[in-house]
Amino acid sequence: MLDELGGVTDEPGRLTRTFLSPAMERANQLVGGWMREAGLTVREDETGNLIGRLNSAVPGAKTLLLGSHLDTVRNAGRFDGALGVVLPIVALAELKQRGVTLPYHVEVLAFSEEEAVRFTGAYIGSKAYTGRLRAADLKLRDARNHTLREVIEAHAGRPYVPPKAAHRPGDVLGYLEVHIEQGPVLEAKKLAVGVVSAIASQTRGRLTFRGKAGHAGTTPMDLRRDALAGAAEFILYAEAFAGARPPLVATVGTIQVPAGAANVIPGEVRLSLDVRHPSDAACAAALADLVRQAERTARRRQLTCEWQPTMQHAATPCSPELTKQLARSVRAVQGRGLSLVSGAGHDAVVMAALTPVAMLFVRCRDGLSHHPAEYAAPKDLAVALKVTVDFLQRLAAES
């Protein structure tokens, strides 16, 4: 299933699926078919979230949510996001085959956007599902200068009014997200799976350096105000700054020279900055230092520098109760448990505003993710599947 889904792409020869793209529609059709085969009823909301629901016959039952995202980074692997959608479907199909019925409703959520590739703000899918999509989000623009609102309205074919949350908190049991670890800890500890205790604090934004464009052949070096040279100095500073302060991480992942040409001194440069730390205070302090340094670099080079935050989330603790239940299933299946902090962001961050969340991490080869060679072994996926089935059944026994 993951291989098949990994072939559904917007770019020939490599896996890229972005918010409300043609490949996302095809992915929803494919996954929607698997949901139906597992006995779920399927709907899609206006923001392209795919929602598969299995109703329990028990009156007044609450709903357990399981899921992750179907969008990807550019040139992605097959597992990031997709695993957390496919695995619960297989778990429910397995229970159906065993003739097990659950005393609670289940929804499998395939969120339409988590990676912030098309728009610089992440979590559009889970924000829409939890009623947290704000006016500021709808004003974000993609590379073609379309606002998020315009893109949603073109897809839905009608004016978009951001919905209320899909559920009242009291109607939900919790949210479980299964995800590849995207790091090397499980591999080092020789474990197939582990539970997540918390998700690190994260800030993303855009830095714009402005200088003066000019002729590359006629302007002497000492009379230039080169925005790209200033940005380059800042990028190396950010690398050294975070490198000296583990577990802080800082990444400049994109850089654009909008009017760039080989024979023009760069007049304007935009770069993305992503800063993460398990502690909110340390993350905020590091970001403030980095922005101050960008401003200092700009001043010294007679440039200007503007910081525009696009995304921020505080460190998100997983629910101790739900995680304890998940950890019991991990011990039952794997013998040994392990708890780790996630440096990556996940839909669970947004879902935590609605309901208790728990996350199961699955070992991935070389800790590699956001890369086409991303890989999790079938035997590890089997462990994750057994843990999920065990978790669903323990929850059934207790509710």
Please state, in angstroms and rounded to a whole number, the distance separating the CA atoms of residues 128 and 113.
10
β-pairing, 172-180 vs 357-362, is parallel
Q: How far is the CB of 250 from ligand GLV (least distance, A)?
A: 13
- Assigned token pair, 118: 């098309």
Count how many residues are written for the chain: 399
- Residue nearer to Mn ion on the CB measure, 361 or 391: 361
- Residue nearer to ligand GLV on the CB measure, 347 or 390: 347
376 φ/ψ angles, rounded to the nearest 5 degrees: -125, 135
Q: How far is the CB of 246 from ligand GLV (least distance, A)?
A: 18
How many C-beta atoms lie closer than 10 Å to residue 56's C-beta? 18
- Residue nearer to Mn ion on the CB measure, 40 or 178: 178
Q: How far is the CB of 346 from ligand GLV (least distance, A)?
A: 7
- Residue nearer to ligand GLV on the CB measure, 323 or 342: 342
Q: How far is the CB of 344 from ligand GLV (least distance, A)?
A: 4
Please state, in angstroms and rounded to a whole number, the distance separating the CA atoms of residues 196 and 175.
13
String marking each residue 271-290 x if it binds ligand GLV according to CB under 6 A: --------------------
Q: How far is the CB of 232 from Mn ion (least distance, A)?
A: 27
Q: How far is the CB of 238 from ligand GLV (least distance, A)?
A: 17
Instruction: Specify the residue for token string 């049991």.
Output: 173
| Candidates 72-80, 152-160, 328-336, 381-389; binding stretch for Mn ion (CB under 5 A) | 72-80
| Candidates 77-85, 185-193, 270-278, 290-298; binding stretch for Mn ion (CB under 5 A) | 77-85
At position 86, the amino acid (one-letter code) is V
Q: How far is the CB of 146 from Mn ion (least distance, A)?
A: 23
Dihedral sign, CA of 50, 3, 326, 58?
A: positive
Size of the site for Mn ion (CB under 5 A): 2
- Residue nearer to ligand GLV on the CB measure, 115 or 390: 115
Q: How far is the CB of 73 from Mn ion (least distance, A)?
A: 6
- Residue nearer to Mn ion on the CB measure, 81 or 194: 81
| Among 162, 130, 131, CA closest to 149 | 162
Judged by CB under 6 A, does residue 115 bind ligand GLV?
A: yes
At position 203, the amino acid (one-letter code) is T
Q: Which does 345 bind (CB under 5 to 8 A by kind): ligand GLV, Mn ion, none?
A: ligand GLV
46, 80, 137, 380: which one binds Mn ion (CB under 5 A): 80
String marking each residue 213-252 x if it binds ligand GLV according to CB under 6 A: ----------------------------------------
Burial class (CB in 10 A: 0-12, 13-18, 19+), 26: middle
Three-class SS of residue 342? strand
- Restricted to residues 335-374, the positions that interact with ligand GLV (CB under 6 A) are 344-345
How many C-beta atoms lie closer than 10 Å to residue 178's C-beta? 27
Size of the site for ligand GLV (CB under 6 A): 3
β-pairing, 249-251 vs 268-277, is antiparallel
- Residue nearer to ligand GLV on the CB measure, 156 or 368: 368
| Among 183, 190, 198, CA closest to 335 | 190
CA distance readout (Å), 286 to 30, 159, 356:
43, 41, 29
- Residue nearer to Mn ion on the CB measure, 87 or 228: 87
> Does the N-terminal peptide bond of residue 247 adopt cis geometry, omega within 30 degrees of 0?
yes
- Residue nearer to ligand GLV on the CB measure, 357 or 392: 357
Q: How far is the CB of 116 from ligand GLV (least distance, A)?
A: 7
CB 63 within 8 A of CB 361: no
- Residue nearer to ligand GLV on the CB measure, 163 or 343: 343
Please state, in angstroms and rounded to a whole number, the distance separating the CA atoms of residues 311 and 304.
22
Reduced 3-state DSSP string for 223-237: HCECHHHHHHHHHHH
Q: Which does 137 bind (CB under 5 to 8 A by kind): ligand GLV, Mn ion, none?
A: none
Binding site for Mn ion (CB under 5 A): 80-81
Binding site for ligand GLV (CB under 6 A): 115, 344-345
